[in-house]
C-alpha cells in the first residue's frame, strides 16, 4: 500500500485526511497549525516536522492549501515536495489555484519522474466531514487508477475530467456559475422585497420557470433565507475564486464582463466586513446597503 502524505489540514483538508486515516491508509500529515496535527494523531496519523520530511517518507503527497502562493512554495520551493519526493511518486493537489501554476507544477513533476494529479474539491466542508466530497480530477489514466482508492475514501463522486490541468479548469467553470448566480440572486431577491412582493410566492414562481437555479432553490433555502449565514463557502473565498476565474479567462482572451462585475459585488461586501460570512449572505449585504428588509422564509 502506498504511503500517503497530506499537507494542509484546514477546514477541508482536516476532515479529508481524517477519512483517510479512519479507513486505514498509512498517513503522515503536516500543517503550520499544531491543533489539527494533534487531532489526526488521535486517528493514527503521524505528524511530520516539515513538508520536506513528509515528502521523503511518502509515495503519494496530497496538498490542500489556501492559495496559489502556498502551493508554489510547498511544491516548488527549494526544499519543497518536488525536491524530496522519490521518482515514481505522485503529487495530488486538491487546492483551487491558478491553472497556469497547475501546468507548471505538472511539467516540473514530469521532469523528475513524478506523476501529477489535480483534484480540486466540489461541495462543502460539511460534506468532507461525512466523506461525501466531489472531485474533479485531471490525471493520466495510470495516475488516476492509483489515486482512485484515496478519492473513494474521501468522497462519493469522482469525475475524471482528462489530463493534468483539466480538473482545476473544470472547478473554475463550476465555481463561476455558482458564484455569479449568487450575485444575481441577491439582486433579484432584493428587488422583490423592494417591490413588496411575497418572498414565498416569488420563489414559487421562479422555481416553476427556467429562472430557477440550484443556489436559490437548494442552498439559499437552507442558508441565508433561514437566517443562517455561518460559512459553508465564504464571501472571501468566492472573491478569491472569481479573481482566479477572471484572470485565467483574460489570460486566454476570453472576456468576462459579468464575472468582473460580480467580483466587484463581492469586493464591496468584503469592504463592509462581511468576508467571513457564507456567500449566500450577499443578499443581506445588498439589502442592508439599499435599506431593504432582509428576505427570510417563515
- Packed helices 235-251 and 257-271: angle between N→C axes, nearest 10 degrees: 150
Using CA atoms, how far apart are residues 133 and 80, in angstroms rounded to an integer?
A: 27
Using CA atoms, how far apart are residues 276 and 243, in angstroms rounded to an integer?
A: 17
What stretch of H or E contains 122? strand 121-122
Half-sphere CA count of 193, side-chain side, radius 13 A: 19
What stretch of H or E contains 243? helix 235-251
Using CA atoms, how far apart are residues 199 and 221, in angstroms rounded to an integer?
A: 11
171 catalytic residue (yes or no) = yes
Can you say whether the dihedral through the CA atoms of 230, 232, 238, 241 is positive or negative?
A: positive
CA distances from 65 to 12, 30, 85, 249 (A): 9, 11, 18, 22
**Which grid cell sits at 28?**
503522515
Catalytic site residue from 23, 112, 152, 171: 171
Using CA atoms, how far apart are residues 225 and 213, in angstroms rounded to an integer?
A: 15
**Which grid cell sits at 262?**
460580480
Residues annotated as catalytic are 171
Amino acid at each position: 500500500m502506498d504511503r500517503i502524505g497530506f499537507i494542509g489540514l484546514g477546514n477541508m483538508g482536516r476532515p479529508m485526511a481524517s477519512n483517510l486515516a479512519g479507513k486505514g491508509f498509512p498517513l503522515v500529515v503536516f500543517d503550520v497549525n499544531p491543533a489539527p496535527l494533534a487531532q489526526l494523531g488521535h486517528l493514527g496519523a503521524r505528524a511530520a516536522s516539515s513538508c520536506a520530511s513528509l515528502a521523503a517518507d511518502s509515495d503519494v503527497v496530497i496538498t490542500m492549501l489556501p492559495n496559489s502562493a502556498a502551493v508554489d512554495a510547498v511544491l516548488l520551493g527549494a526544499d519543497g515536495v518536488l525536491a524530496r519526493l522519490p521518482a515514481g511518486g505522485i503529487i495530488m493537489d486538491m487546492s483551487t489555484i491558478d491553472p497556469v501554476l497547475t501546468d507548471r507544477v505538472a511539467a516540473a513533476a514530469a521532469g523528475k519522474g513524478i506523476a501529477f494529479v489535480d483534484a480540486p474539491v466540489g461541495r462543502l466542508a460539511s460534506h468532507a466531514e461525512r466523506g461525501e466530497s466531489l472531485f474533479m480530477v485531471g490525471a493520466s489514466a495510470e495516475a488516476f487508477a492509483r489515486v482512485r482508492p484515496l478519492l473513494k475514501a474521501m468522497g462519493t463522486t469522482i469525475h475524471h475530467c482528462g489530463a493534468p490541468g483539466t480538473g482545476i479548469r473544470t472547478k473554475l467553470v463550476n465555481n463561476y456559475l455558482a458564484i455569479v448566480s449568487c450575485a444575481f440572486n441577491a439582486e433579484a431577491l432584493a428587488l422583490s422585497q423592494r417591490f413588496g412582493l411575497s418572498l414565498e410566492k416569488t420563489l414559487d414562481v421562479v422555481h416553476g420557470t427556467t429562472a430557477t437555479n440550484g443556489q436559490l432553490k437548494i442552498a439559499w433555502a437552507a442558508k441565508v433565507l433561514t437566517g443562517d449565514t455561518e460559512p459553508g463557502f465564504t464571501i472571501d473565498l468566492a472573491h478569491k475564486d472569481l479573481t482566479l476565474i477572471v484572470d485565467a479567462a483574460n489570460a486566454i482572451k476570453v472576456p468576462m464582463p459579468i464575472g468582473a462585475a460580480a467580483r466587484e459585488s463581492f469586493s464591496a461586501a468584503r469592504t463592509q466586513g462581511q468576508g467571513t460570512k457564507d456567500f449566500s449572505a450577499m443578499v443581506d449585504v445588498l439589502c442592508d446597503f439599499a435599506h431593504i428588509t432582509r428576505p427570510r422564509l417563515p
